[in-house]
Amino acid sequence: MSSFSVTEPSRRLKWIAGLLVVGYALVTLMPLMWIIATGFKSSSDSIAYPPKVVFEPTLEGYVNLFTVQNRASPEQLAANPPETWYEQIVHDKGMMISGPSRFGERFMNSVIIGFGSTFLSVFLGTLAAYGFSRYRVPLKDDLLFFILSTRMMPPIAVAIPIFLMFRATGLSDTHAGMILLYTAVNLSLAVWLLKGFIDEIPREYEEAALIDGYTRFQAFYKVVLPQAATGIASTAIFCLIFAWNEYAFAVLLTSGTAQTAPPFIPTIIGSSGRDWPAVSAGATLFLLPVIVFTILLRKHLLRGITFGAVRK
């Protein structure tokens, strides 16, 4: 490519653009880096002033996150010598592990509810979007507007009726209830996003498949779905991020069995003083699934514009 091309920016512009991007990345990534670093600090390092950038890493925060500990007398400590590396860490503080914490459970709840509702939203959303895109649905525009209108106010605005409904139907603090709720909130977004993607897929592909001897459903499954993969992947990411991060409903509607990680993490603070490393460790682990999920689906996000076998 010639450097004199009209579309090619000059060297200097590229430098400026690069600097801006790096600067922006630093600003957005700094809090994240700080959380990750704090997770590996000792309690005293985490609240040191001036803040420590270089520190000796420890897994204390992670051990605190996953265990419940009691202060122990020197006799008790001497009677129970530590057997594992994590018992050693606790032992050194003059404490003893009395059992596992609830973080593991809460984390699993988040996984079940987050991925469950994402799957349902995308599954139902794809079918609805296909229907709206391809069939003559009576009152189509009104229905689509109605679907969109469920997003016109923040979901938490309907918190009280939902709270009452959940209490009346016994859905409070259940996995099914939370999956249902997050699916309901995400579905409108999923339908609209996916309809846009499916509208872009020319009908001729399905018509060709119909003539090639396939049924309508097979044509959908074999021809439309693979081409909607990009849209499905990005919709899934949006749905997962919402369900994964949702805090207000989780606080309101869950307390035990179905409590997700977001309302649980702040409670760590209270248990034994201000344990910032444990909170940061929780936050770090909490970030991981979304990051992994996004990276896994990145291929589909980037694959993007390969539509080209139909001339427009």
Options 31, 138, 213, 273; binder of other proteins; rule CB under 8 A? 213
**Within positions 246 to 285, which residues make up the interface with other proteins, using CB under 8 A?**
none
Options 215, 255, 257, 271; binder of other proteins; rule CB under 8 A? 215
Nearer to other proteins, 153 or 309 (CB): 309
Q: Is 207 in the site for other proteins (CB under 8 A)?
A: yes
Q: Is 232 in the site for other proteins (CB under 8 A)?
A: no
Options 97, 180, 223, 297; binder of other proteins; rule CB under 8 A? 223
Q: Is 211 in the site for other proteins (CB under 8 A)?
A: yes
Distances in whole angstroms, Cα of residue 95 to Cα of each of 43, 72, 269? 14, 5, 18
Nearer to other proteins, 92 or 212 (CB): 212
Q: Judge contact between 239 and 181, C-beta under 8 A.
A: no
Beta-strand (E) ranges in 39-154?
67-71, 95-100
Distances in whole angstroms, Cα of residue 227 to Cα of each of 83, 193, 238? 55, 14, 19
Residues 6+ apart with CB under 8 A from 290: 240, 241, 244
d(CA 144, CA 95): 59
Q: Is 44 in the site for other proteins (CB under 8 A)?
A: no
Output the six-digit token pair for 55.
């520190």
Q: Is 50 in the site for other proteins (CB under 8 A)?
A: no
Q: Is 141 in the site for other proteins (CB under 8 A)?
A: no
- Which spans of this chain sit near other proteins (rule: CB under 8 A)? 202, 204-205, 207-215, 218, 223, 226-227, 306-312
